[in-house]
Structure 1
């Protein structure tokens, strides 16, 4: 009997070791393929940390390694923490989703008067998005910003649709401060990070010198080097994109959320309830995105294309991905989906995993086997369509000066989707960039054949005809 128990325990330990190794192998390969400078990943299942690892460098200039003390700016993933702060006030009865924002904020334009708290959280307010107006200084006062935005038209009828908007969370900041009498930052620290000294701070300024802060990088396709970002969204952007946090602190936050420390279960359910958009098309909860993985709901958000958090409540699983850049395309959600499939077999989504595999193969420098791998997958699952995947791969390759490879991908997309206006449009663009105007024209004409309303194809044909006209005049 004792031997059996020991054997079972050893098998379980080996299983955990194998899982950690599988996740680690996957992440190392992903880092290599996408040339990710620095990465931290945490996985929590049923309240226990089953994986926590750190890779690469915090800062490419100083060559500091990513560690448990590294502070990652999580950009718009900050909105999840801000949203929990809003629902803490709702749970205490100090705020309601149905409250009009004019109840808390003065001097609002008439068009904003009917906007409610629920519209800010669901990005259905229709209020002009502040980041679209370069003439509004980040150092402007709240009153000055409101006065400026008041001169602009509403983007759409309040409640009609989802439109991601930074103004919404700036307004929530002011409302939180009005209700609590505290700064937004002090309120969040006291109610969600009271025991996390120096492990969470607020800054929306990438140029600010902060010890152990991981700065986002972008890959310059011309110099073939990473360069630090220098954007500064100001002090009033903290609720939307300015939280900087270590992975252990984020894991602790996740556990407190799961264990109903921040909010009771009923409040969480209301936070994760779908908002009813008037257009009956968009899907979004209150501050949280909802994603289905193999028919299981997950809730979370991503930020700056470098961070993401996802909670799978039915599977008691949470995954955190924090990084500081990528060469080809943002992959934080892809990483979450893949890790989820390794941890829980119920979360294996073969289509998503196949998309990831296809993308990875076509992005390789020597990708001679990519098409064969795709066709083998397609043979097994003829019902699967990868038109959008190929289109995305093609444009990623173009951005990375691999035009020849991009055109080959667009050609394959046309072969696989011979009735797609979009596929022919993209192939037309590939040939246009390559200077092959005759064949570009043929593909744009084909695109118009399938979609006569394709304005882009029409504009490109006019441009090509103008090029031909200029050549003829020059030859004459």
Structure 2
């Protein structure tokens, strides 16, 4: 009798767990479809892996808008800067093997570095604290330039800041990491990564930073043109030096396998991963970033990941042994990758609920709807009343500029006005409202708000310059 009762109890627990999981899947699917509609995402793949098992894997929409080919497990999404995570793992594999150290100077492995770069260390590359000039900022550095030729050109430029002092996102850092990997291993950078992280799915991963290159099953990102109200395919062309920073296209199944390997000791021992996810100590004592990984916390539960091109994101939650992957090919209003990952995490585990992210997502979704400003404002104040401690100054500011960029000027100004009402002591909020009125050619109100901004923030040089510019315009008009 006891055995029968235990068996019945086990069956009941299993059925309850299955029912709960099924409900989670429905909630995720319903949410994802709503997010696709809100952001007009052409194609999307979502994966959730927990305890080394894929528990959610779904495909939505189309690979492209030309022939409406459906997104499928064979679709290879460009993940842009999320590619950096694979570079990070590759670096720490070499560290674990004793072939490299975070404290090594880059000059130990890369020849002919400028004098100011001589004491930049490997750890500074991973944490974007090198201070070196970023090659993407210089139009005369061509896609076909090699690493050494790029270094030669950059040697003419000053350092951006003192090494180690701050975080400043920089593709030169990752170009140098790939050169270090090639020097140590004797392999091409891409072969090293593919052989050591994707050996079981090589046919589902490709390195290319050229959107014009014809690669079967590779999905190219769409950019939304706010003037024509249409999507256009990206035509970005970069060379091999960009591979470590943005070069991977990968299927969702291959990415899920990569994540499963990462969660075990297939790639790295736990001690090494702990080192990789340790916060770097920046000189300014303000910036927060690990060794190549963003650090996120929800209710003091840490997670680590990165995003790329505003169309992909990866997040690993060590305490939950769970990872979420979001792969897409475009959006028309606001980049959705972080909100989607955070929302799905909250569905999977209420303890991972990021109240700010969920509230911000709702605010943005309502303002994204055209001719909905009154309902959007009502929704905003409802959220504020429920979450009085949350501050949405940056959210409203970003929304205003996004609306401006989408040629919705009247709505943009209303959002900027809402922000100054909500933040009457913010010089930045008045500066943005001044810019909104300036773009609408309402120079009197623009001048009034720039003066208010300067009054609140006397160091605002932009406001000073704009006041002079508007005064000049008004003199010419009179």
Alignment correspondent of 2:210? 205
1:131-280 maps to which residues of 2 (within 5 A)?
131-280=136-285
Extract unaligned runs of 5+ from structure 1.
Answer: none
> What is the alpha-carbon distance in structure 1 between the residues aligned to residue 134 and residue 471 of structure 2?
38
1:466 lines up with 2:467 in the alignment: no
Q: Which residue of 2 aligns with 1:327?
A: 332
Aligned residues of 2:146 and 2:241 also touching (Cα < 8 A):
no
Q: Structure 2 residue aligned with 1:409, among 410, 415, 424?
A: 415
* Offset of residue 4 of structure 1: 4.9
Partner of 1:84: 89
Q: Which residue of 2 aligns with 1:14?
A: 19
- How far off its partner does 1:113 sit? 1.2
Deviation digits for residues 236-286 of structure 1 (CA, Å, limit 9, x no counterpart):
211111011100100110010001110000000011111111111111111
The secondary structure found in structure 1 opposite 2:62 is: strand
Q: Which residue of 2 aligns with 1:394?
A: 400
Q: Which residue of structure 1 aligns with residue 451 of structure 2?
A: 445
Query: Which position in structure 2 is the counterpart of 1:108?
Result: 113
Mapped contact 2:305–2:314 kept (Cα < 8 A): yes
Take 2:386 and 2:433, find their aligned partners in 1: how far apart are those partners?
27
Tell me the secondary structure at the aligned position of residue 81 of structure 2.
helix
Shift of 1:393: 0.9
Q: Which runs of 5+ in 2 are unaligned?
A: none
Could you tell me how far apart the structure 2 residues matched to 1:414 and 1:104 are? 52
Name the SS of the counterpart of 1:464 in structure 2. helix
Give the equivalent residue in structure 1 for 2:126. 121
Among candidates 93, 98, 103, match of residue 93 of structure 1: 98
Aligned residue runs from structure 1 range 302-321, under 5 A: 302-321=307-326
Segment of structure 1 superposing worse, 93-102 or 366-375 = 366-375
1:198 partner SS: helix
Decide whether aligned partners of structure 1 residues 355 and 141 sit closer, same or farther in structure 2, where only a CA change above 3 A counts. closer
Distance 1:438 1:12 in 2: 63
Q: Tell me how far 1:111 sits from its aligned partner.
A: 1.4
Matched, 1:383 2:389: yes
Distance 2:35 2:81 in 1: 23
Shift of 1:427: 1.4
- The CA distance in 2 between the partners of 1:6 and 1:93, in whole Å, is 49
Greater CA drift, 318-327 or 137-146 = 137-146
Contact 2:346 2:353 in 1 (8 A): yes
Counterpart residue number, 1:353: 358
Corresponding residue SS for 2:202: coil
User: Quick one: distance in 1 between partners of 2:183 and 2:113?
Assistant: 15
Deviation at 1:11, TM superposition (A): 2.6
Conserved 8 A contact 2:28-2:344:
yes
Partner of 1:363: 368
Deviations 1:110-158 (A, max 9, x none): 2111111111111111111111111122212332222111121111111
Across the aligned residues of Structure 1 and Structure 2, the Cα RMSD in angstroms comes to: 1.3
CA contact (8 A) 2:127 2:292 kept: yes
- Report the 3-state secondary structure (helix = DSSP H, G, I; strand = E; otherwise coil) of the residue aligned with 1:79: helix
Deviation at 1:3?
5.2
Query: What is the aligned length?
Result: 472
